[in-house]
Structure 1
Amino acid sequence: MIAFGGNLYSVPARKVRPRQLIEIRATKSQVMLHSTGPDIDGGTLLATHARAIGRGARVVDHTHWDGLPTGRGRRTTTGEVSRTRPEPPRGDTGPLQALVDRAAATNVEVGRRPLSVYDELTGTRPFTTNRTTKESP
């Protein structure tokens, strides 16, 4: 699951690995998730989703879960194991929802950078409150 705009979006389990960098290209109506390097076929597109409205939504393509452990039989993991005990599943959820609920995607650490980085990228300068009293000729 990829966190973007306060929502979670699924990516194919077989095409990503833990802590992999994902490039997000978003429009008003769509979120496109790309890997930072091409796959065997030379493509980078991992998934396309309709953009969620509001915050706290989980946008999941159920085919993205192919290859993940089902929870039946011997336990298997595909990444780091949390040292905290997972909450017991609620009675009204299925195995997919239980897997999503246990996922560490809700604890994603978001990178922070100063706004000046965006000014540099766009070639704009920040607004200043200091105005000179003399006009230049």
Structure 2
Amino acid sequence: HLAVGIGIKAAKAGHRVLFDSATGWVARLQEAHSRGKLAQELVKLRRYGLLIIDEVGYIPFDQDAANLFFQLVSSRYEHASMILTSNLPFARWGDVFGDLTIASAMIDRIVHHADVISLKGNSYRLKKHQPAAGTAQ
């Protein structure tokens, strides 16, 4: 929710913004790769000042998907901004990407110029499903 709010604010300030889930970005890159247009797609995406990549780690990536995601992160490194959201700590990203070396290299690029925000507490989505304090179930 916070990432979307920042994206909206950036768009209203005149920045070009794109949003998708991590699996959505990988699907987009897989399609470009299958057409022999991966390099062009990465250049095109660099024209956007901000990419929001939601749900990193929600679904583990196979080796090809992990490599494509790494290329996306690498192509934007020191060129354009990203917001990534994940429920997993960086220590678990090796599991998601199936390769600790790729995960470490990606994390290095992500955090080099980053502000990392760790949110604590209960999920806002689950909050409305929990009984109010003092009420019987």
Q: Please tell me the TM-score bracket, short chain as reference.
A: under 0.3
Per residue, is there more helix in 1 or in 2?
2
TM-score under structure 2 normalisation? Answer: 0.27
TM-score under structure 1 normalisation? Answer: 0.27
